[in-house]
Amino acid sequence: MTYSVSFRRHVLDVKEREGLTFGHAAQRFSIGIASLVRWNKDIEPKSYRREKGLKIDLENLRQDVVDYPDAYQYERAARFAVTPKAIWQALRKLGVTYKKIPGTPKGGRRRKASLSQEDSGA
């Protein structure tokens, strides 16, 4: 939970004015001691990015899926000079699924990538 800057200032002002320790101030306002120590160093809350940016251009990856629908992820990773996990994450973001090819032996050992209908522009 992020507390507002005005509340943080109020708590630190009361702590200074009344000469409270971090422990007593934390107990009085029902917040953690570590939070007070952090606020004492820097009162502004930290901003966090919820999602990391991708190194892979999604349009290039979409075209790669169209050009090479039966390529393995490690093959795509080599073409894009990234790890297979990065390819997996980008394919997931694109909504790419792998379908079994119906005519293969043993129920489909080879899989083929396909874009969902709304993503492929059809």
Please give the tally of structural domains in the chain: 2
Mean pLDDT, rounded, for 63-77: 90
Q: What's the pLDDT at 122? A: 45
Residue 65 lies in a domain: yes
| Listed residue (30, 3, 33, 31) closest to 21, CA to CA | 33
Residue 105 lies in a domain: yes
One domain, residues 69 and 32: no
One domain, residues 64 and 107: yes
One domain, residues 72 and 108: yes
> pLDDT per residue over 39-60, tens digit each?
999 888 887 766 666 778 889 9
> pLDDT per residue over 72-106, tens digit each?
899 999 999 999 999 998 998 888 877 665 665 65
Residue 10 lies in a domain: yes
Residue 30 lies in a domain: yes
One domain, residues 63 and 21: no
Q: What's the domain range around 20?
A: 5-41
Mean pLDDT, rounded, for 60-68: 92
One domain, residues 37 and 62: no
Query: pLDDT: is 33 or 100 the higher one?
Result: 33
Residue 49 lies in a domain: no
Residues of the chain with pLDDT > 90: what percent?
50
- Are residues 58 and 90 in contact, defined by beta-carbon separation less than 8 angstroms? yes
Mean pLDDT, rounded, for 110-120: 61
- Are residues 28 and 10 in contact, defined by beta-carbon separation less than 8 angstroms? no
* Residue 98, φ and ψ in degrees, nearest 5: -110, 125
Residue 48 lies in a domain: no
Tell me if the pTM is above 0.75: no
Residue 68 lies in a domain: yes
